[in-house]
Amino acid sequence: MTRLRAERFAALALFAFSLGYFLLAFQIKVPPGPDDSPFSARSFPFGLGALGMVLSFALLVKPPAGAAIGAVRFEWGRAAGLLGLMAAFALTIDALGFVVASALFLAAGFRILGERRPAILAPVAAGTALGFWIMFELLDVKLDWGVFGRLFG
């Protein structure tokens, strides 16, 4: 995607967001009161939505020039892998508990970014997760062990 196209796409997305925000402001329930109240819960969102549309439209019509995005080679796969890993962490933290979910997250993160040596990858991941657990125990913050806590607790 060329820079100009990417700029236009972003401006269009922000315009759509502002438009949606503006339209959704109609759905904000205003509590009963005098009709001529100068300010309600809707007033600010209306103003912001309108302003957002004006500014994003201006960017859409005249996007600023910038360096081509393709000038730098990006590793999209690595970033997507990390995002997927974060989503997996969010999904599993309650079930697996803090220590196991954290250790798995770190080990997989190191692996995705190119650390191949198990002798470094595993101890650093497990050590960091356990270290944080001990620190939080000392601070009297109780972290759940998830399914393992129920199995062995």
Partner 1 sequence: MIEGLLGGLSGLFTLHNMLLLVLGCGLGTFIGMMPGLGPVTAISLLIPVVLTLEPASAMVLLAAIYYGAMFGGSTASVLINAPGESSSVPTTFDGYPMAKKGQAGKALALCAWGSFVGGTIATMLLMLAAPTLASWALTFQAPEYFALMVLGLTAVAAFAEEGGALKALLMTVLGLMIATIGTDIADGVERYTFHIADLADGISFVLLAMAAFALSEAILAALRNQPVSEEAKKAARGDVGSLKLTKDDVREVAPAVARSSLIGFVVGVLPGAGATIAAFMSYAVERNLARGARREEFGKGSRRGVAAPETANNAAAGGAYVPLLTLGIPGSGTTAVILGALVALGVQPGPRLFVDQSDMFWTVVVSMYVGNLILLAINLPLIPQIARTLAIPERMLVPLILFFCLIGVYLVSFNAFDLWVMIGLAVVCVGLRLLDYPMAPLLLGFVLGKLMEENLRRALIVNDGSFAFLWERPVTAGLLAVSIACLAAPVLARVFKRKG
Please report, as ranges, the residues that interact with partner 1 according to CB under 8 A. 6-7, 10, 14, 17-18, 21, 24-25, 28-31, 36-41, 43-45, 48-49, 51-52, 55-56, 58-59, 64-66, 69, 72, 74-76, 78-79, 82-83, 85-87, 89-91, 93-94, 98, 102, 105-106, 109-110, 112-115, 124, 128, 132, 136, 139, 141
Encode 115-135: b = buried (16+ Cβ within 10 Å), e = exposed: eeeeeebeeebbeebeeebee
For partner 1, which is the closer residue by CB, 114 or 153? 114
The distance of closest approach from Cβ of residue 20 to partner 1 in the complex, given in angstroms and rounded to an integer, is 10
Residue type at 98 in one-letter notation: F
Three-state DSSP at 10 gives helix
Token pair in block for residue 32: 């009963």
Kindly state the smallest distance separating residue 139's Cβ from partner 1, in Å.
Answer: 7
The token duo for 150 is 């129920």
Task: Name the residue nearer to partner 1 (CB basis): 98 or 100.
Answer: 98
The two tokens of residue 139 are 């601070």
Rg (alpha carbons) of the chain, rounded to whole number? 24
Least separation in angstroms between residue 152's CB and partner 1 is: 21
